[in-house]
Amino acid sequence: MGNKNNIEIIEIGPRDGFQNVTEFIPTEKKKEIIERLIEAGVKRMQLTSFVSPKHIPQMQDAEEIVKYFINKYKDIRFFALVPNYRGAKRAFDIGLREITYVISVSEGHNRANVNRSVDESFEELKKIIEEFPEMYVNLDAATVFGCPFDGEVTYDQVEQYVKKAVDIGITTINLCDTIGVANPEQVKKVVENLLIKFPNIEFHIHIHDTRNMGMLNSYVAIESGIKHIQASIGGMGGCPFAPGASGNLSTEDFIYMLDKIKVDTGIDFEKLLSVAKECKKTIPGVYSGHHINIDENLICSF
């Protein structure tokens, strides 16, 4: 079993959750929610994504959001998602020094999500790493546990994918259950094997709650040795290019569980719950305290 001390919860709601809201959320409202997440104790957060405003209007204020927070909070680890080289350059030019790039393990989903082959995506990732050496680049590995287009994803596929990423210099990889099909035994096997074979890589886990498995699979990941869990306030988010996918692991629900089993994350549950209630009250599309009614956008929530 993994050591359940020093578990880091990474908040992804301001990107993954907000992105799936059709009606534009005023920039000041986004700032208010992010400020309150910081006040609740969140220390690492995905702020936004540098995508085409034409395709995803919700992210049109990416530069303003990033500039505001990286200048105000020097002790918080902020990062953003980028789908391509252009997005990486925008992030770098505004002063951000940590990004996430997305590549699916499966060919079918990668083409649906970013209209490229897996090899083409890795070539662009290599270019980003080479041209922005000051940028810390995380890799989101989509469809690790199954693909809506190609079906089963084998462990050998995942291992070869990770090896390819490591060979070009990636040191942080986020294992994403894009459509929420993972089961506890699968999570245990994948995580334990990868941690043994790639001991110098920082692995994260990102579980969708499609079949109400988010809490269980994320907990199993911790038991198997994962130290970094991605979650979204209110369970907001989803994957428009993964048919059947629903929202993300709810940050407040997971913090509640960790509090009960005496795992200290440094995040205040009551303050976090207050933020979730505010999101439900003021952001169009939030319902039942969790999840977003998804409209078609481009970059998947992994």
C-alpha to C-alpha distances, 270 to 9, 202, 259, 267, 273, nearest whole angstrom? 16, 29, 11, 9, 5
Catalytic residue among 147, 239, 279, 300: 239
Q: Residue 239 is encoded by which pair of tokens?
A: 């994957």
Name every residue whose Cβ is closer than 8 Å to that of residue 120 and which is 6 or more positions away in sequence.
Answer: none
Task: Name the token pair of 150.
Answer: 């190609």
Residue 295, amino acid: D
Which whole-number Å values give the CA distances from 279 to 21, 120, 197, in the listed order? 11, 38, 40
Upper half-sphere CA count for residue 65 (Cβ side, 13 Å): 30
288: left (phi over 0), alpha (psi -120 to 50) or beta: left
Q: Are 25 and 283 in contact (CB under 8 A)?
A: yes
- In angstroms, the CA 186 to CA 182 distance is 6
Query: Is 239 annotated in the active site?
Result: yes
Q: Which residues are catalytic?
A: 239
